[in-house]
Structure formats: structure tokens, C-alpha cells
Structure 1
Amino acid sequence: MNDPIFKTLTPSQFITFTVPNPVNHPCYLNTPRLRVAVLDSPVAVAADYLPKVAAMIVPDQRETDWNFCTESGHLQLLFNIPGLSRLILIGNDLPPNPEPPVYIRPPVTDTVDREKLEDEIQPLVMALHPKVCFQKGLPNLLFLTYEDDVLYRVIIARFVGPFVGEFVVEDVEMESNNDSDKKLRRRLRFKRMPNLIQSQVPLIPILDDGQSNTKLDLESLRKMKNAKFDVDTTVLVHPYLTPMVSGLFLIASHLNERIQQGFTSRALCLGVGGGALLSFLNTQMEFEVVGVEADEAVLSAAKQYFGLNNGKSIQLIVGDAIEVIQNFATKGDTDDSQVSFEGLDDKFDVVMADLDSSEARNGISAPPPEFIKKSVFQAVRLLLHDHGVLIINVVPQNEVIYMKLVQELKDAFHKVYGIDVGNQDNFVLVATLSPSSSNDHENAFLKRLRSVIQGAYMDSIVEL
């Protein structure tokens, strides 16, 4: 292959094609033709920079998974490797059918077998390297492997939303350290960001006797006619949600005092997804909750498959979260205080922002750039009680953006705190409007908070 189009790097260039299969293997890459996808990073490289190129063999049975067959999935894979200039995906060429409803992890490829496979496709990969990579001789080929913790996955519903586009609800069994207690989850996944799990909750199989059973694997359970499935909204399993709730520690005394005075705590959640955070705040922390979600189809999925109840104590607003709060701020400048603004007619104890970028080209990032503005933070202040807090899930593209967000929050609020999520991707920031008061161990609200979430997160709160 000597197509000149591959000889140079072109930012964001994405090309797919098929080639006759040069591999002689009974199990892997065994279709007559192979599908090849080549993506150049959106980030241009300097003229004197030796680009980093990598190839990946698409995992067996994942060829039509959005992670591997869409440009957005390919882009997210590329962004997972720092400094990568070009990513080449090579997989079986399958008919253009929708993503298969069931995935079962195949046996692990033997190391020797995999090395043989890589040797056989080496000429193809070499031909797809930019010309600059050969300045000092033949480049060292870099092969990546894809691993996740999914053992079994079944798609149970498909949706198309006017804002988020295509998305699926899926039930999965994940790797577990305890074979007698299977790790089952219900998840929400968008095609525009396929490698990002938008929401997940524990999946509870219920048999005829009404008892839950997590000892059987999901594949066996789905074959049982008497098995039904429910979700558990009393616990949080998404990595950053528990740290977000932990941020309430900073105003626990204020909340306890208001509860003793007969007030109900109120939370505004910007971004709903499957609604796990809203349900938890409502059922476990006894908050009244208002959620803002841009796509009505996502709310339908949350209510139908994730146990989100839309009632008196949980109100849902369809709209862009940033526009909704800024419109409220504009309304707050008028004298018409008798008109309710879709559930935003009373102030909140906490505003929780779980908003990610809608553009895969920006990589996985949260909150979106349009949220990090003085006008947005001023609008949030108008929504909060004097003791209130803003809690944000943060996935920064880089340290500069993270530091800008921290500084903007410091300029708009009294204090800014960080909470260690325990991974390299997420941070939780908490911005307070007033000084934090001491938390008495007899505080009823604090006792409830410690009873439903890990105390380690509260202990890791630090002022920035």
C-alpha cells in the first residue's frame, strides 16, 4: 500500500477501507477482508517532532461495537494514549449491522499466538506510518491491546434523542473478586461518547420466590424464564458520585439546623443521565431534587430502566442546564416574584454539576467549556442559600484548564475544596458560599451521611 494520503499527518483525518486478509489464523482476523481505520489526532504536531503511531487489533466480537466502528469511539481510544499522533485499528470486516445485542468475552489470546498475529500484519501497519517516521530507519511498531472488565453484555433498549443522538441501555456482568457474588450492572452509553459510561446502577436479579440472586452469572440468569431484573438506587457505584455526595460534609451543620427548623433540603442536579444521583439524594438523604437534562429521551430511559421516579419530591426539567440557570438568573432581576420558574422558585442547599462535553473531538472532559464562566457561577450563586455549595464533577483536558476552573471558582465563591476520587481521570470540586461550620458528631444529618457513603471521601476533603 503506497497511498500518498497516509504519508503525512493531517489533523482529524479519518479514513476507513478494506483490504484482502493477509493473515492465516483460524480464530482471529479470519474474515476474507479486513476493515482498517486510520485516525490522525486533532492536535497538530511540530515539524521537528517524531510522531507516535500505534496500531490495535480490534478485539474479537467487538467489531461492531461503537468503541471500534465509529469515529467518536476511535477518537476516544486515541486520546487515551498521551501524545499519540495516529491510531490504526485493524479488525474483521463484518456486515454493516447494528451493534450486536449480546457480547460474551472470548478466551484470552495466547501471547505467542498474538505475537504471530502482529508479525503477519506488520507490513500493513508499516505501510500506514507517515513518511517522517522512517527518517532514522524502520520505526519500532507499537501494538496496543484493549482490555475492559466486561464479561457479558446485552443491549436491552435503544433510543435516539434529539440532543444526544443514539444511545443504548445495557445490562453487563463485570469481573468480580468474589465468584459467589456476581458484579451485575445496568448502564447507559451514548454513541457520541461510546467509551464513556454515562450512568450505571447495580442490577438485581429477582427469581420466583421474590428473593434477589447474584450468585448466578448474567448469561445463565437471562436464560431463566422466571428471572426478572430490578435496579438498586440505594447505592452509588459510579466512581465520582460518592465523592460528590461527600461534599455535603462541608455544610452538614447548616443542613442539620435547617432540618430541625422544619425545612427540607433541596438539591439541583445539572445533568441527569440515568438519574442515579437524583434517586440517591432523594431516597437516602431525603432531599427534594430538581434535575435538568437536555434530552427528553434520556429522561424516558432513566424512568423506564433506571428507577428514576418523577413525582413531588423529584422534578425534572428538559433543557440545556446552563441556559436554564442563566435564564433563571435573568428572571431573578425582575420584580415578578410570584411566578414559578419550572421548579426553580425556591433556593437550593446544593447545586451538583455532572455535565460533560458533547464533542468527542474534545476528548472526555467535564464540565464543558461554556460552564466555566463568571456569568454561570453568578447564576449558580443566585440559586443557592447563603450556606449553599456548588459541587462539580471535573474531568479536565489538561492542568491549565483545571487551574482556570479552580481560579474562577475562587473568584466567585468563599472557599474551594477538592476531593480525591481515587483515579487519575476525575476530580470533585466543592465551592462554598460561606465559612464551613464545625460538624458535631451528634449531628443527625452527618450521621445519616456517614451511614450511606464511605467516610474516607469526607476525610480526603482539602482546601485548594
Structure 2
Amino acid sequence: MEALRLLPRSAQDFGSAGYWERFFRERGERAFEWYGEWEELRGPLERYLRRRDSILVVGCGNSEMSEQLYDDGYQSIVNVDISERAIKQMGERSAALRPTMTYLVMDVLQMDFPDGCFQVVLDKGTLDALLTDSEEPTVARAERMFDEISRVLQFGGRYLCVSLAQMHVLKTTVEYFSKEGWMVRIHQASGKQATGSEGKFALPVFVYVMTKMKPVPGSTSRILELCAENHDKPVRFSSLDHLIEAVKERQQYALLRSQLNKNPGAGDVSLDLCSKDGGRARYTLHVVHCPTVKVSRDNRFAIFIVPQGRETEWLFGTEEGRKQLAASAGFRRLVTVALHWDQHYESMDAIQAELSGKVMELAPLGLPAQQKVPFLSVGGDIGIRTIQHRDTSSLSGEYVIQDVKGEDGRYFRHLIFLSNRNVVQSEARLSSEASCKGTKKLKKKKKAASSDPVKPTEGSTSLSIDKSYLCCAHHRAMVAGLCLLKDPERLPEVPIRVLVIGLGGGSLPLFIHDYFSQCTVEVVEIDPAILEVATHWFSFLADDRLKVYIADGLVHVSNLVAEAPSSYDAIMVDVDSKDAAVGMSCPPPAFVEKPFLQEVRALLKMEGVFILNLVCRDTQLRDTVLATLKEAFPLLYARRIEGEVNEILFCQQQSQQKLPPAELQSSARVLEKALRQPGCIWDSTYVVADMLESVQLV
């Protein structure tokens, strides 16, 4: 109840003398310690304090910090506070014991001291109490305080500020002093949560060390540094944003540890660890708790290094997959570590050395300090990732093309949008040129001259795109859905017309083009940069039967309805959404709303099929989508992709064509037999009927 009475009505009250008078009157003489006592903060502070320094403590309150400093040999200390009651209490308490200690009633926004009379200004919590938000009047008050601190400090003097480093406080403070040419260094007080009179803070405590330097005419360089632990060497950052990101990482790490300690069985929790030099994310950690594992002495905790390029796989890239990984590995708590595409890693040993100290802080409480914790991986190595290309699209943002080594030793090419780095937008398998020469001997086949071969890290064999292989299970299912058309045994040799909305790397339209030899495929892609990527990096090549239109899919379909109604045998939609807040990452909502679905229906032949890739984690939204689809297409099949969120929906207009799943599989086997033409290599892992095995009528 006392804590509730002492809280201010608003954050602005922290700057009011009246509030602090009431605070110290109701609290009495018991010390109130913001962010810890001298012994807890000694590590970073004493590096910047000398016994002979003249020290000004601003906003001293009734903290015992000054008394502890005095008793430790720092005896030239002046304390100021806005509260007369606090100054009176503290002055009376130290009068006999600390004769050279001074306590003065003074506002830090307007101090009476002459210029340059102190070597150190010490602030424990005063800035945090004053700078309660980022509103202009509040920031102006803080900058008045900074002006006064700057005025009373000598050149070479230090402003030592103990703070929780809330983002607006950190940004305002560092911006002010770095622009003034001061040296800025941030220390994390300790790896533990800081304590105080009222308990523990969830966030770690930081010490800002701002050193007043003589201005250098014309100089624009800024010194921005971070010491993550008491004895770490400082790491220098090139920008304020990088420094702030590094501090934020330390805060997130502390919150994660707090969450794990309070609730050891918490669900999948994660954070990024940044590189020391650039502030970019270097590792992504996921902490997985597996209650089904029976605890023994040696299976309480382990670290799993995800091989490079495989962090998007279901086993490593989803919460369900990571739980399965922990269970199969037999550990109660497992930390998975994903390696980022723009970072260099020398070896498993180097990664282990870099991570061991930090990741061990995530171990379960009670784990013996000397217990050896295993580092696990697939095959014992860190995998191979080669960045082939990176660029930025005005529509899709920054993207990378990377080649990675898969579990079976084969290489794969990925297109990844960095706005959603956990999802592979497009994937293709790479094969040696020798094995690719006879892959397909289809009629009128042309080689994409613009496709660059890849030279992988291991060996010197050139690789090229294997067009016979569909990496994505949802693409395999979409092709299988063509068996819903009439006479599947004749499909490869009869003229059909297919519209594909969404190009990606182009593997889906390419496969249809190559294996349905009389088919005409039209692709609509909104982003011209993606067509360039597909052509240059995924061996996509348009011809008379494969055409690409750079257009908005919604607008293109509307135009086609007016020009060519009832002219398509199949329409496929595989388009990602840029709006992550919707709860549906594929497709954008407009593609599953009534106006678009009615236009799709008008474009299809009566016996045609509409095939949609749906990725929706929101159960209620999914149900709404299915209900809307059923209104436009009475016959609706759904096929969930095992181990993925993807769900393929097959929609038709005529409910009398309804086939039970067993007959669908039979039609799929007929289609596969027809596609396996002499002289055409077929990927043996692609069993068309299997893609419809668990299909359900909706």
C-alpha cells in the first residue's frame, strides 16, 4: 500500500519539488535506492572516479550512495536535491561523521555553481525521473539539465549517469552529448538484474559515461562505445542507431532471462544477438522447453547450432518444429541458434567460443556451474551458405539470393525477402551440368542463356538450376490439383490454358510449361525486379507458350474478364502479402474477397479449377476465407501441407463433379503416368497421388 501512496499521479510529477517533499515526508528516513547501492555499481563507476576528484551528486534524495563513496575515500562531494526535507535529513545525518560532505537545496536545471568547478557529476536515477517521455517540453527540461552539467564540468570531466536506458532517455542523452563533441561510453552495470530498496528491476542497469572534450574545429567524428560487461573492452559503433540497437539487445536478453527464471515452462521465446562491430543481428536464439523429456543429470540443457541456410526449414523455423527437435534430441531445455546471412562464421569451434559465455546465462536455474553443456548440430558442421546477389526492389524491399548446402549434400538456391527473413520466397535445387544435360529432352526446349552457373564452396563443379525438381511442397500440390480437370491422362498432350498469379523464382510456371507440352501459361507478376531475379538467377525463360505480364494481379484479372471470359482451364494464385498484421501471409486479403473470386469464376471454363495457396495462422480468419470461397465455388477441397502452415485450396464451380479422396488419388496416378514421358527425366520423390492423400472436402 505504501508504494501505491508514493507513486505520482503523472510522470511529470517527478520533476516537481512538491512531489518529492511529500515523497520523503511519507517515506521517512529510510533510504530509497534507485538502481542499486555503491557495492553493486562499483564495477563500472570506480573506473572513472579518483579519490581526489571534486564530485557533484545531482538529485541525491536520501540515497546512501554519497555516504558510501565518502567512507570509501571520495571525500570531496557536494550533493544537491530539489527537496528541502531530503537535504535536511541527509545533512543532519552526516554532519558529525562526514564533516567535508556538503548538502544543498538546488534545482539541477539552474545551479549556482561557477563554471568548470567539478571533475565528476554523478546522477543515479535523476535523469530517468526527469526525462519521463519524448515530448518536446520534457526533452527541453532534460537538455537544460545537460546544459548545466556541461557548464559546471571541467574539460576532461565525466558525467556518470546510472539509468535503465529506456530508449527515449538513451537516444536523447547520447544525441545531445555526442553532438557537443563529448566521448560517449555506455556500461552495463552487471549481467544480473539490478537491485534497489524496493526489489529488482526487470531491466539491467546501465552507466552512461560522458567525457567532456575540448572541441576540435571542423571535426564531425563521434566516439560511441559500449562495454557489455564490467571488464569487457569497449566496442566502438559507427552510428547512434547501432549503439542503441546493441543496448536494446542487452535489455531484451535480460528480459528473456527474467521470463525464463520466473516461468521455466514458458513457450518458445527468442531474441537476436548483434555483432560487436556493426550492430547487425548475428545470431537469433530460440529457447525451447520440452516438458515431455524426463529430466536426468545430463539432459537438462543443450545448444543447437542450425546450419547456415536451413533456418527457414520447418524443424528449425517454427515453434512446433523446434519442440520436436528438442524432444528428439532428448533435452528439457534447448537453445537453437540461427546464423544470419550477412555474417561470417569461421567454424563450429569459433561459434562455440563466441556464444558459450552468453548462452550459458539461459541455462535452467540450479544447473551446476561446471557442468559441460553440449553444442549440437546436423552433421557436426555449420553448413555452407554463399550469397550470390543482393539488391533492393521498390515494391518488395531488400532481398538476397543465396546458395546453401542441404541435409542430403545437394545445393539449393533461395530467394529471401529480408522483410520476412524466416521465409524462403522461392527455392530451386542445383545440379551439376553433366547430370542436367539429359534432364529433359522436351520439344522446342530452349536453354536460358542468362542463367549463371554457381561454383559452390566445396569443389569446383559448376551447378545450374534443376528444372525437373519442385522444391516447394505447395507447388507440388498445386500441380497435382490439375488432375481435377477432365481426362487427366490426356492433359500433357492437349491444349490447356493456365493463368499463374505470382512469379517468384518461376519454378511453378516453368514446370507446367515443360511437362504439359501443349499448355499455354500466362504469368502475372507485379514486381519487375522479381522477373529479373527469376530470369537471371532461376533460369526462367519466356517463350511462345510461357508469357509474363508485369501488372497488378487484381487489375489484370479484371481486364481479362472483359476480354476473354470462360477461357482458362486453371487459375493459380501464389502471392505473398506484405502486411504481416493481417494474420494471413499469403495471399493479400483482396485475393480472397468476393469481387475477385467472382471475376476468377467468370474467367474459368465451367469445368476449370481455381487453385490457391493459403497461409493463414488465424483460425477465425481462415474459416471466413473458406466460407467466402464456398459461396463462389460450391466444390472446395483443402490440402494442408504437412510440417508447414501452407494449405492448398482446390475450387470448382460444379458440385456434381465431386470426387471422393480415393478417386482423386486415382486421377492423380493417371496424371503422373501421363507426365512420365519417354526421354523426360522425372523426379522420383514427386509422387503426385501423395499430394492429394489427405485432401478433404470443405
Indicate the residue corresponding to 2:673 in structure 1.
Answer: 447
Shift of 1:189: 1.1
1:66/1:250 Cα in 2 relative to 1: closer, same or farther (>3 Å)?
farther
- 1:131 corresponds to which residue? none
1:3 and 2:244 equivalent? no
Structure 1 residue aligned with 2:423:
196
Can you give the 5+ residue segments of structure 2 that lack an aligned partner in the other structure?
Answer: 1-162, 169-200, 204-223, 238-242, 253-262, 285-311, 321-336, 364-374, 440-454, 677-681
SS at match of 1:151: coil
Match of 2:497 in 1: 266
What is the match of residue 396 of structure 1?
616
Paired residue secondary structure (1:243):
helix
CA distance in 1, matches of 2:395, 2:578: 9
Superposed CA deviations along residues 77-123 of structure 1, whole A, max 9, x for unmatched, are xx9669xxxxxxxx9xxxxxx97486666448669x9674246699x
- Is the 1:250–1:436 contact (alpha carbons within 8 Å) kept by the matching residues of 2? no
Shift of 1:256: 4.5
Aligned to 1:56: 271
Task: Give me the whole-angstrom Cα distance separating, in 2, the residues matched to 1:288 and 1:458.
Answer: 24
Matched, 1:163 2:395: yes
User: Distance in 2 between the 1:441 and 1:373 partners?
Assistant: 30
Task: Name 2:469's counterpart in structure 1.
Answer: 235
Compared CA separation, residues 56 and 417, structure 1 to 2 (3 A): same
Q: In proportion to residue count, which structure has more helix?
A: 2
Superposed, which structure 2 residues align to 1:27-426 within 5 Å? 35-37=246-248, 54-58=269-273, 64=280, 100=342, 106-107=348-349, 116-118=357-359, 151-176=383-408, 182-206=409-433, 218-221=456-459, 224=460, 227-251=461-485, 253-256=486-489, 263-286=494-517, 287-329=519-561, 331-332=562-563, 347-362=567-582, 365-426=585-646
Which has the larger Rg? 2
Q: Residues 243 and 420 of structure 1 are in contact (CA less than 8 Å); yes or no, is this contact kept in structure 2? A: no
Report the CA distance shift for 1:400/1:443 in structure 2 as closer, same or farther (over 3 A): closer
Q: Distance in 2 between matches of 1:109 and 1:159?
A: 28
The code of the aligned residue for 1:406 comes to L
Please give the per-residue CA displacement for 1:53-79, whole angstroms capped at 9, x wherever unaligned.
9453538799746997xxxxxxx9xx9
Alignment-mate amino acid for residue 198 of structure 1: Q
Task: Specify the code of the residue in structure 2 equivalent to 1:385.
Answer: K
Partner AA of 1:195 in structure 2: N
| Letter in structure 1 aligned against 2:413 | R
Greater length-normalized contact order (CA 8 Å, ≥ 6 residues apart): 1
Q: 1:386 and 1:18 mapped to 2: Cα distance? A: 68
Structure 1 residues 66 and 188: CA distance shift in structure 2, 3 A? farther
Superposition RMSD in Å = 4.5
- For the pair 1:458 / 2:692, whether they are aligned, the reply is yes
Q: Deviations over 1:134-182 (max 9, x none)?
A: xxxxxxxxxxx99999711111122332311222221111233xxxxx1
**Contact 2:399–2:417 (CA under 8 A) maintained in structure 1:** yes
Q: Secondary structure at the match of 1:370?
A: helix
Three-state SS of the structure 2 residue aligned to 1:218 is coil
Superposed displacement of residue 248, structure 1:
1.8
Alignment of 1:18-29 (within 5 A): 19-22=226-229
Number of aligned residue pairs? 372
Q: Indicate if the aligned counterparts of 2:348 and 2:382 stay in contact, CA closer than 8 A.
A: no
Gap runs ≥5 in structure 1: 10-16, 41-49, 69-75, 83-90, 92-97, 123-144, 177-181, 333-343
For 1:67 and 1:423, the matched residues in 2 are separated by 24
Which SS does the other structure have where 1:197 is aligned? coil
Helix, strand or coil for the counterpart of 2:532?
Answer: helix
Using the alignment, how far apart are the partners of 1:105 and 1:362 within structure 2? 40
Label 1:63 to 1:248 Cα distance change in 2 as closer, same or farther (>3 A).
farther
Taking only the aligned residue pairs, the percentage that are identical comes to: 22
Structure 2 distance, partners of 1:442, 1:292, is 27
Query: How far off its partner does 1:301 sit?
Result: 1.2
Distance in 1, matches of 2:343 and 2:351, equals 23
Shift of 1:349: 1.3
Secondary structure of 2:473's counterpart equals coil
What is the Cα deviation at residue 399 of structure 1? Answer: 0.5
Q: 1:101 to 1:243 in 2, by over 3 A?
A: same
Q: Structure 2 length as normaliser, TM-score? A: 0.46
For residues 438 and 632 of structure 2, the distance between their equivalents in structure 1, rounded to whole angstroms, comes to 50
CA contact (8 A) 2:272 2:281 kept: no
